[in-house]
Structure 1
Amino acid sequence: MEHALEIEQLFVSYLGNQVVKDITFSVKKGSLVGIIGPNGAGKSTLMKAALNLISKDKGDIKIFGEPLKKWKKNIAYVPQRSDIDWDFPITVIDVVLLGTYPKLGLFRRPSKNDREWAQECLKTVGMENFSGRQIGELSGGQQQRVFLARALAQKAELFFLDEPFVGIDVASEETIINILRDLKKEGKTILVVHHDLSKAESYFDHLLLLNQYMIHYGASEEVLQPEVITKAYANQFSFLQPKGVNVTS
């Protein structure tokens, strides 16, 4: 089966300290993968390095067997909410329209069809009635849904989401995970930085367990075995259950 993402011997430093060390793994096309690990494990750093948003010390990254630049227009990225300026004066529909820009080309503006598609994406995430709102007026869950709509508008093949479930309501979380499952059924590949271990097995078919080094990568039920998970989390929690950890890291 074709690999959507291949990372080999990736090393990344931050402020002079190496925070991602010798990471090698590959993700098959059509997978829904959670990236888990304790705070400071390098989860977001790994994702940003894979997208060339930050520089790496060394390592090889391929998208569908080719260099990243050949697939950039077909990769959608949803950053952490804390990385976004919510005071920027932009409406919901204009945020979603930004997803159409990578494939428009230079000096082209969104067409009527693009606007209709953006509205359809808002409908998919249940936000079609908020298109004229300023993005900062929305709740955390609503904001996250809008940014997922922007990713959908891009018609990407590979999706990266960094902590999409942090600080949002239950309804928004259910909406988002159901959309991600639908994308997987369509053959899309999704990687998600995730923190809640209690939901990891039900959300993802594969997990990458990270603590600067890669601890384990495999099927969710395999990674969430106590003897595996404790290698990353050590003494950060005091009890385990057979299928994982009933705590949030």
Structure 2
Amino acid sequence: MIDSVIIIEDLHVSYYGNEAVKGVSLSVERGKLVGIIGPNGAGKSTFLKSMLHLIPSDKGSIKILGKNMKEVRKKVAYVPQRSDIDWDFPITVLDAVLIGTYPLLRLFQRPKKKQREWALHCLERVGMKDFARRQIGELSGGQQQRVFLARALAQNAEIFFLDEPFVGVDVSSEETIVQILKELCRSGKTVIVVHHDLSKANDYFDQLILLNKELIGFGTVAEVFQPEVIGRAYSSQFNWLNEMGVSMP
């Protein structure tokens, strides 16, 4: 029996008065690392945010772990785009990660030694434990993204959503993040990633969601990376993809 942790039916979403997602239906199995790809303006981030109920949908159904998002929010972790975060906010790396433990605490309970040790463990997992006392604004882009992944890990969620996590990130941080995401999936977690670099999709993901406002393709990388499927999403950009060396499995 297939264990679908995300089920979406006929999803329509408008953004600033324009329909950004049209009639998307799909289901994602537990333990998969899934990339959301498509050209600029295809509605990738809008689609992800609608799944999280960060922006409202016009119509359609979204079930996460068989329930509405409000009922399972503690089991869902979200890493937003770096451009959506105020890096000037005066907070240390450790305190930023501790925020990830809040959903696991009782009302008005403050993090204690147990939570601090867990946060430090999550920082160690992403290679950032030595930076625990640094202000988050002092870090490089790759270091900041590792910290926000550590915050998501601290939540001990079942499903992880990441919006363009590799933008402005150094190669070492990107490799570390990908390795951790794959480890999460091997342990039964599910990971959804908005991604723009098609040349790495085959190495990173189990499945791809190809969007251009509507669902163009969904399946394994080999199934989606067919010339006729990619061509329907990128159309005029298709020749450019070939010139960039994006090969089809």
Q: Distance in 2 between matches of 1:160 and 1:6?
A: 15
Contact 2:230 2:238 in 1 (8 A): no
RMSD in angstroms over aligned alpha carbons?
Answer: 1.1
Q: Distance in 1 between matches of 2:140 and 2:107?
A: 33
Q: Distance in 2 between matches of 1:105 and 1:9?
A: 36
- Does the residue aligned with 1:76 lie in a helix, a strand or coil? strand
| 1:63 CA displacement | 1.0
Q: Which residue of 2 aligns with 1:60?
A: 61
Contact 1:5 1:27 in 2 (8 A): yes
Mapping of residues 78-117 of structure 1, within 5 Å: 78-117=79-118
Q: Which residue of 1 aligns with 2:45?
A: 44
Mapping of residues 229-248 of structure 1, within 5 Å: 229-238=230-239, 245=246
Q: Which residue of 1 aligns with 2:174?
A: 173
Q: Distance in 2 between matches of 1:35 and 1:137?
A: 30
| 1:240 CA displacement | 5.3
**In the alignment, residue 234 of structure 1 is paired with which amino acid?**
S
- Does the residue aligned with 1:155 lie in a helix, a strand or coil? coil
| 1:239 CA displacement | 5.0
Per-residue CA deviation, residues 202-245 of structure 1 (Å, 9 max, x unaligned), is 1001000000000010001110111110110111242556xx82
Q: Which runs of 5 or more residues in structure 1 are unaligned?
A: none
Contact 1:73 1:156 in 2 (8 A): yes
Q: Which has the higher helix share?
A: 2
**Mean CA deviation greater in 49-58 or 231-240:** 231-240
- Does the residue aligned with 1:234 lie in a helix, a strand or coil? helix
Mapping of residues 202-213 of structure 1, within 5 Å: 202-213=203-214
Mapping of residues 1-249 of structure 1, within 5 Å: 1-238=2-239, 245=246
TM-score by length of 2: 0.96
Q: Distance in 2 between matches of 1:109 and 1:135?
A: 21
Q: Distance in 1 between matches of 2:210 and 2:15?
A: 20
**Mean CA deviation greater in 63-72 or 76-85:** 63-72
Q: Distance in 1 between matches of 2:236 and 2:195?
A: 19
Q: Identity rate of aligned residues, in percent?
A: 65
Contact 1:226 1:240 in 2 (8 A): no
Q: Distance in 2 between matches of 1:12 and 1:116?
A: 41
- Does the residue aligned with 2:239 lie in a helix, a strand or coil? coil
Contact 1:239 1:245 in 2 (8 A): no
Contact 2:160 2:190 in 1 (8 A): yes
- Does the residue aligned with 1:238 lie in a helix, a strand or coil? helix
Per-residue CA deviation, residues 92-141 of structure 1 (Å, 9 max, x unaligned), is 00110000001112100001010000000000000000001111100000
Q: Distance in 2 between matches of 1:105 and 1:191?
A: 28
In the alignment of these two chains, the number of paired residues is: 244
Contact 1:92 1:146 in 2 (8 A): yes
Per-residue CA deviation, residues 18-47 of structure 1 (Å, 9 max, x unaligned), is 111101110001110000000000000001
Q: Distance in 1 between matches of 2:151 and 2:246?
A: 33
Q: Distance in 2 between matches of 1:26 and 1:171?
A: 32
**In the alignment, residue 195 of structure 2 is paired with which amino acid?**
H
Q: Which runs of 5 or more residues in structure 2 are unaligned?
A: none
| 1:59 CA displacement | 1.1
Q: Distance in 2 between matches of 1:45 and 1:58?
A: 14
